[in-house]
Structure formats: structure tokens, C-alpha cells
Amino acid sequence: MSNVTNSDCEANFPRKVVLITGASSGMGKATVEFLSKNDFIIYAGTRHVEGLQAIKQNNIIPITLDITNQSSINQAIDTIYEKHHRIDILINNAGYGLVSTVENLVEEQMQMQFNVNVFGVLRVCKSIIPIMRKQESGIIINISSFLGKIGLPLLTLYNSSKYAVEGITDSLRHELKDFNIRVHSIMPGFFDTKFARDNLVTNLETFDKNSPYSKLVSNLAPVIVDQINNGNDAIEVAQMILEIINNDKFSARATVGDKAKKFIPMRKELSDEDFERKVIEYYGL
């Protein structure tokens, strides 16, 4: 009978180490819980680690991480690397959502939209890529949005930040392929998450009843809110992440959720003009 122990197995086949940003709620938290059941070591990055104490266990380690602060990112990644000497998977999930017309933009809100959704992704990638490059393996998964391929009014800043994430994904796939580092994006539709319900930042001038955009707001905002409240379950994103991890031939990007599966294929099939007409019809613009 073999005398191989569990520790021997772990030494020969170490569990993959995952870092996920924005892990305290929504898609991030669902992914942490789902992957933890599939034999990964999960570092759940969040600014507020106390919110993850309820799910903390041997292979779920909450870690303080502010993706708008390079020092915070470096400290978190150094902590993980010092313990495991590797980081196998990065899931860029943290997000910020601004609902505003361009005319009413507040500088601070505009800066924050890109600081989190774009520069935050780049900062974490910048710190983790050297580790993956030296170990000659790694997977980076960017949680984007179907709105990274589709423009909607009132969401110009959010849309453009997710368009940028798609560009980052496409370019990094070329930049890192020689080092056996895979890069993918997931484009969810509207999901019923705490982020979508509670964390969207609305510009007060845009939503003022006397705003010149009041008709647009009154027509579109209730539709978006309804689609969020009746959106897909965040577990679908977690399941897609596992599919990407397990399939080294997975495509550059994937759609998850009803709206994404409806609009993204349509975007590929139609001309710009025909697609714009479909969006206008669907959302009553």
C-alpha cells in the first residue's frame, strides 16, 4: 500500500492560488465561494475585509486590497507570493459604476470611473505579470460588461471604461502569450448583485426633474433598474470563470447572462447603423 500522504500530494500538485479583486459582494463574493469548493486557494481582495469574515476558511483568505493604491496592491501581492511563491490566477472584478450625462459630469466621479475600472486593472496586472512571467504560467480574467461593446446614454463613462477593458484584454493576449499567460474577458449582462442595486453612483443634476435630460432619464432609468433587479444570478459568472481556468483553449472572451447573449452576437452580425437601430428600438430611445 502506498505511503503517499496528503501533504506529499500537495507538494507534487499544489493547489492553484487565485487573487480576486472586489471580492466582498456580488460576482466577486459568488466566485470566491464557488472556487473555494473546487480546490483553489482564494485570496479575496477587498478594501473592507471585515465583510468577508463570515466566509473565511482554510482556503479563503480575505486580504486588504485597494486597487486605486499601488502600495496597497504591492503589499497584498507580496504577502501572497511570500507564502506560496506563485500566483496562478488573477480575476480583475472590482468595479465602479457612474450614471450621468457627459454634460453633468463631476470631475471626481469621472476620475474615479477610470481609476477603478481601467487604471485599477492595469495596476494589478503590472504587479502580478512579473510573477506569472517568471513562473511561465498564469491566467488573467477581466470582468468586463456587455456594455464594453454597446453604448447606452447615461452610461457613457461606464461604457467607455469597459470598452477600455476590452482593449486591454486584446492587447495583453498578444503581449503575454510568449510567457504562457492567458488573458480573457467575461462580458456579463445585467446581474442582480449588490453592486448593481446599491453601488451605482447617480449624478444629481442628471436625475433632477428639471434637467433637460429628464425625459431620457424617466424613460431609460426604470428599464435599466428593472433589468438589474430581474437579472441573472452571479453564480453564472463564477461558473464561467471555472470553465476558462479549466480550458486552455478557451476563446478570448465570453458572454454571460440574457442581455449579453442577446446583444453581443447581434453586434457582430449587424452593421453599425442596423445595430444602433436595434438598441434604439429595444430601449425606447
C-alpha span between 268 and 265 (Å, rounded): 5
158, 163, 213, 282: the catalytic one is 158
Strand order in the sheet with 89-92: 60-64, 41-46, 17-20, 89-92, 138-143, 181-188, 253-256
Determine if residue 274 is left, alpha or beta; phi over 0 gives left, psi from -120 to 50 gives alpha, anything else beta: alpha
Closest by CA position to 226, among listed 270, 263, 196:
196
Closest CA to 224 of 253, 259, 250: 259
Say how far apart CA 267 and CA 271 lie, in whole Å.
Answer: 8
CB distance 234 to 27 below 8 Å: yes
Active site residue 213: no
Residue 8 corresponds to which cell in the numbers above?
Answer: 506529499
Other CB atoms within a 10 A radius of the CB of residue 226 amount to 11
> Residue 152, Cα to own-chain centre: how many angstroms?
19
Residues tagged active-site:
158
